[in-house]
Every structure is written in structure tokens, then in C-alpha cells.
Amino acid sequence: MMKLLKKIMTAVCVLSVLCLLAGCARKGEPLAVSPMDQASAVGILHGIANMDDASSEQMLLMEEEDIEDFFKQYGYSLEGDTFINGLNGFRDAVEAMGGLVSIEDPVMSSTEDEIIATFTIKGIERDATSVVVMDSRQKITSITTNAHYTTGENITKAALNTLLGMGTTFVILIFLSIIIGLFKFIPELQAKYEKKNAPPAAPAVDKTISQIIEKEEQVSALDDGELIAVISAAIAAYQADTAVGSASGDGFVVRSIRRR
């Protein structure tokens, strides 16, 4: 048991040392930056900057594959969405700058897998920075442009965004509270609807039944009267034949009739 425990501890220690060595391993060397890399970055950014509105709109309407083929014939390698994002970002930045004045030469740098060209762009109201990133095969993977704002402008912008977000939230909450408040009227509307579409009330039915009973009683009373008349006539005839009493029927009275 002790031998097995020692083996496990030894394996853990070896793994720990290997992890430390891997963490302390020397990173790869940065990529070498050639004049061709700088020329590609300058060419693509100046091409975006010199594009007029009509050409920009036409490029934005093109398919991504067509954009890629278009730049390939001029020696540039990039994806269609990379160019579209770069063009839109540059146009937004120029608008925030109040207009483009000049583009300075880029500052080139690199990592072990990327080459980075950083441009300083002068504007009328404020400056901006454009960054063009390429891989080891000079394929442009990213084009970004950001205008420079002062600290006060950044604070104002953040405050406006906060107010906009909070205002939107409060508007939604108020709208939801109004909807919830209207729920109390639903039972009333439902009751009115059911009352409107309900069958005739019971009193009307009772009235109809009472009228039927009354008519039946009237018919029954009429039948008894006719029966009394028939009985009276029969008794009068009998008295006349037997010479008992008067044939007029005054000697007797029919008081009730029992039906069986």
C-alpha cells in the first residue's frame, strides 16, 4: 500500500513539474514585418478612405464572394465581411471626426501570428485610429477605426446610454403595470358579455307556464259546465217520463262532479 502511494505521489510531482515547464516555455518569435506588409495595409486603408459615397454604396450591395474576388485581382486577400465591417467603421469614424484631413504612415508591429498596422487619422473636430491586422500570409483579417473622444465626451456618452437604457426599462415597466391594472376589468366585461348572450330569464318562462295553466283551468271549467248542462237535461227528461217533479229541472241542483 505504501509503495502504491509513493508511486502516485511521484507521478503527481512529475506532472506538476511538466506543467511549470510548459508555462515557462519561451513564446514564439514575432513575425517579421516586410515592406509588402506595410504596403498592403496602406493600400487597403487608403482605398477605403478615397472611396466616394456612390462607390461605397455599390460595394456594400455586392455579395461577400464578389468583394473577395474583386480585391484578389489587385493582390489583396481578405474576406468580404472584413471589408464591409471596415468600410462601415471608417465611414462612421469620419462622420464623428467632422471630416477627414489626412492619414499618417502606419506604425507596424507584430506578434507570433499577426502583423498589425496602426494608423493615426487627422480629422477636423477630432482624430481617430485605424488598425489593420494581417496573418502570416498577408491575409487581412480585421479593419477597425475608432474616433478619439475626450474624457468629458465619453462621460456624457456613457450617461446618455445609461439614461436611455433606464428610460427604456421604466417605459416597459409602466406599460406592463398598465396592462396588469386592466386585468380587473376583465371579469366585468366577461359578465356583460355573458349577460348579453344569455338565454331568456326564468321569470319569462314562469309567466309562460302560468299562462298555460290558466288556459287549462279555463278549458276544464268550461268542460264541467257543459257536463252539468248535459246531466241536468238528462235528469229533467227522466222526470218528465216518470212524472216525478218538474221537467224544468228546478227540483234539483248539481253541486259537484267527481271524475274517476
Q: Is residue 253 one of the residues assigned to a domain?
A: yes
For 243, list phi and psi in degrees, rounded to 5.
60, 35
- Judgement on whether residues 132 and 49 belong to the same structural domain of the protein: yes
Q: Is residue 1 one of the residues assigned to a domain?
A: no
Q: Which of 38, 199, 181 is nearest to 117 (CA)?
A: 38
What pLDDT digit, counting tens, does each position of 185-210 carry? 888 878 877 777 766 555 555 566 67
Q: Indicate whether 180 pLDDT > 60.
A: yes
Q: Indicate whether 248 pLDDT > 90.
A: no
Q: Is residue 14 one of the residues assigned to a domain?
A: no
Q: Is 140 left (phi over 0), alpha (psi -120 to 50) or beta?
A: beta
Cell numbers standing for residue 124:
477636423
- Judgement on whether residues 188 and 210 belong to the same structural domain of the protein: no
- Judgement on whether residues 189 and 232 belong to the same structural domain of the protein: no
- Judgement on whether residues 51 and 141 belong to the same structural domain of the protein: yes
User: Among 198, 213, 231, which residue terminates a domain?
Assistant: 198
Question: What is d(CA 71, CA 86) in angstroms, rounded to the nearest whole number?
Answer: 14
The residue segments making up the domain with residue 172 are 150-198
Q: Is residue 172 one of the residues assigned to a domain?
A: yes
Q: How confident is the model at residue 91 (pLDDT cuts 50, 70, 90)?
A: very high
Q: Is residue 21 one of the residues assigned to a domain?
A: no
- Judgement on whether residues 228 and 191 belong to the same structural domain of the protein: no
- Judgement on whether residues 144 and 156 belong to the same structural domain of the protein: no
Residues 6+ apart with CB under 8 A from 109: 30, 33, 115, 116, 118
Q: Indicate whether 5 pLDDT > 70.
A: no
Q: Indicate whether 245 pLDDT > 60.
A: no
Sign of the C-alpha dihedral computed for residues 204, 206, 211 and 212 taken in this order: positive
CA angle at 82 for the pair 129 and 109, rounded to the nearest 5° = 45
Q: Is residue 10 one of the residues assigned to a domain?
A: no
- Judgement on whether residues 205 and 188 belong to the same structural domain of the protein: no
Once rounded to an integer, what is the mean pLDDT over residues 152-175? 88
Q: Is residue 94 one of the residues assigned to a domain?
A: yes
- Judgement on whether residues 130 and 219 belong to the same structural domain of the protein: no
What pLDDT digit, counting tens, does each position of 107-147 carry? 999 999 999 999 999 999 999 999 999 998 889 999 999 99
- Judgement on whether residues 242 and 207 belong to the same structural domain of the protein: yes
What pLDDT digit, counting tens, does each position of 24-82 carry? 444 578 999 999 999 999 999 999 999 998 988 998 899 999 999 999 998 899 999 99
> CA neighbours within 13 Å on the CB side: how many for 78?
26
CATH of the domain at 59: 3.10.450
- Judgement on whether residues 51 and 144 belong to the same structural domain of the protein: yes
- Judgement on whether residues 189 and 230 belong to the same structural domain of the protein: no
Q: Is residue 90 one of the residues assigned to a domain?
A: yes
Count the domains in the chain: 3
pTM of the entire predicted model:
0.54
Give the pLDDT score at 247.
47
Higher pLDDT, 164 or 213: 164
